Amino acid sequence: MTLPSGPDQPSGTPVPDSAHRMNKGFSLRSAFSLAFADISPIVALYAIFALGLFAAGPAFFWAFPVVLAGQLLVAGVFGELSSRWPFAGSVYQWARHVHGTSLGWFAAWAYMWGLTIALSALAYGAAGFLLAVFDFEDPSRFTTTAVALAIVLAGTLCNVVGRSVLKTMVTISIICEVVGSVGLGTVLLLFHRENSLSVLFDGFGTASAGAWLTGPFLVAIAYVGWSFLGFEAAGSIAEEVEDPERNVPKAIILSLLFVALTVMYAGIAVILAIPNLEQVIADASSDPVTDTLVAAFGDGIGRPLLILFVIGFLSSFLAVQAAVSRCVWGSARDNSLPGSRFLGKLAGRERLPVNAIALTGAVAALLILLAGSKLYGVLINFTTIGFYIAFGCPVIGAALSRLRGTWTPGPFNLGRWGAPVTYAASVWIIAETINIAWPRNVEGQVWYLDWSMLLTTVALGAVGIVVYLRMKPHILDPYGQRIAAEQHGASSTPLDATP
C-alpha cells in the first residue's frame, strides 16, 4: 500500500497500489443508478406490501417514512465514511478503517453472506415471474430451479463482460421501473381510487388490546426495514467511480431518497385503489398488489406487470452481485479470505474482479438448489439481519471514533451535524436490528422459522470466528502490514502476500 499525497485524500489514509487498483468506469450518475437498481422500487414494494398490509392494516404505510428517516441517518454516516475511505467493499472498508480490522472482517462476513443469499432469492423470484410471462402454469420446482440457474449464469456473465454492459442494463431497468411504478401509481390515484385517505390511519382491527404502535406497527417497521437496503452499493464500487470522495456520498444518499419516494408514492396509490379493502385484509389475499392492478386495468395488465417484476428482480440481481463481488475482492486483496490470491485478482482490459464475481454466482447457484427446503427457508431470513449487522459495524465504529475524538472528516461531511447524526444512526441500527431479529410467533409457522434470524446469526457467526482466527495471522491492516506482525513490531508485508 502507498500513502496519499493528493490534496483531496485525507492525511494518513492508505490507498491501493497500482497492481491492486481497478479502472475508473462509473460516474455519479452510473453509481447512483447501480445503488438505485440494488434497492429496486418494484422489489422493495412488492416483497413486503402484503406482509405489511396484513400485519398492521393500511396504516402500515407510516412504517415507510419511519424507516426512511432511520436509513437516511445511516446514509449520512455512510456518506462521510465513503468520502474518508473511498475503497471497494463499502461496509468492510469503512468498519476496518474506522475501528479496526476485526470489526471490518465481521462486517464483510455478514455482508457477503447476506447479499449472496439474496442473489439466490432474486434469481429464484425472477424465474417464477419469467415463467409466468410465458404462460407456464404451476411450474415444477425443477423447472423453476433450472430457469433460476440460467438467470444466475446470465447475470454473472453480464457482470464479468464489463462495466458498459452493466451500466446499460441497469439504466434500462431503472427507466422501466420508474415509468412502471410512477406511471401506474398516477393512473391509480387519478382514475381508480376506491378508498379515502382516512384508511391510511386505520389498522383495520390488527391491534391487540389497543396496542397497535408497540405490536403490529413494529412488525411493519421490521418488514419495511428490508425495503430500504442496498444504497451502500455505490460505496462498494467506490474505487471505480470518478472523484469518489464527492460522488459516492451523493449517490448513496440520493439513491435511497429517490427509491423511497418512488416506493411510498406507489404504495399510497395501491392502498387507495384496493377494492373491498376490509375483506382483502380479513381474507389475507396472497397478492393484493397484483389483484388490485388486475381489478383496475383488467387481465391485460397481467403480462406487462409480470415483465416489470422480471426487470426489477433482474436489475437488482446485477447490482447486488456487483456490490458483493467488490466486497469479496476487497477482502481478498487484504488476505482476509481463504483463497485470497485467486479471489484478489483483476482480469481483462477493464480490470474487473472476475474470480470474485464468479464465486458469488457459484455460491448463489448452490443455494438455489436448496430452494424450497426447510434449510433454505431458514437461510433466506438472514438476508435482512445480515444487512443490518453489516451496517451496524461501521456506523457504531464511527460513533466510537467520535467519542474518542479521533474522527477526521473527508471532503464530504455533515459539519456540526455529523456527531448527532452518527449517534442517532447507531441507536436506529441497534433498535431496528433487535426489532427485525425478535422471534415472533406466526400462526402455522414452525418454531425454527420464528427463531431463524438468531439461529443463522449464531451459526454463521461461529463459522466466521473459526475462519477469522485461521486467517488473522495473514490479514493485512490498512497500511499493508500483517496484523500479527504489526503487533510484534515487525516490518510491513507486501500487499500480494498469500497465506
Supply the DSSP string of 466-477, one letter for each residue. Answer: HHHHHHGGG-B-
Nearest to 192 by CA among 289, 304, 295, 266: 295
Q: Where are the domains of the chain?
A: 19-116+176-297+335-343+385-482
The answer to whether the CB of 78 falls within 8 A of the CB of 69 is no
Give the model's pLDDT for residue 451. 87
Handedness of CA 405, 7, 333, 426 (dihedral sign): positive
pLDDT at residue 211, as a whole number: 83
Q: Which residues of the chain have pLDDT under 70?
A: 1-20, 208-210, 442-444, 478-499
357 phi/psi in degrees, rounded to 5:
-60, -45
**Per-residue confidence (pLDDT) for residue 79, from 0 to 100:** 97
pLDDT of residue 5: 31
Q: Tell the residue number behind the cell numbers 401506474, with chain if given.
A: 184
CATH number of 19-116+176-297+335-343+385-482: 1.20.1740.10
Please name which of 191, 112, 95 lies closest in space to residue 391, comparing C-alpha atoms. Answer: 95
Taking the model in full, what pTM does it have? Answer: 0.89
Return the exposure string of 176-185: e unless at least 16 CB atoms fall within 10 Å of the residue's CB, then b: bbbebbbebb
CB 81 within 8 A of CB 400: no
Amino acid (one-letter) located at 450? D
User: DSSP for 364-397?
Assistant: HHHHHTTTTSHHHHHHHTHHHHHHHHHHHHHHHH
pLDDT of residue 379: 85
User: For residues 65 and 264, is the Cβ–Cβ distance under 8 A?
Assistant: yes
Q: Name the DSSP class of 2.
A: B
CB 294 within 8 A of CB 301: yes
pLDDT on residue 207: 77
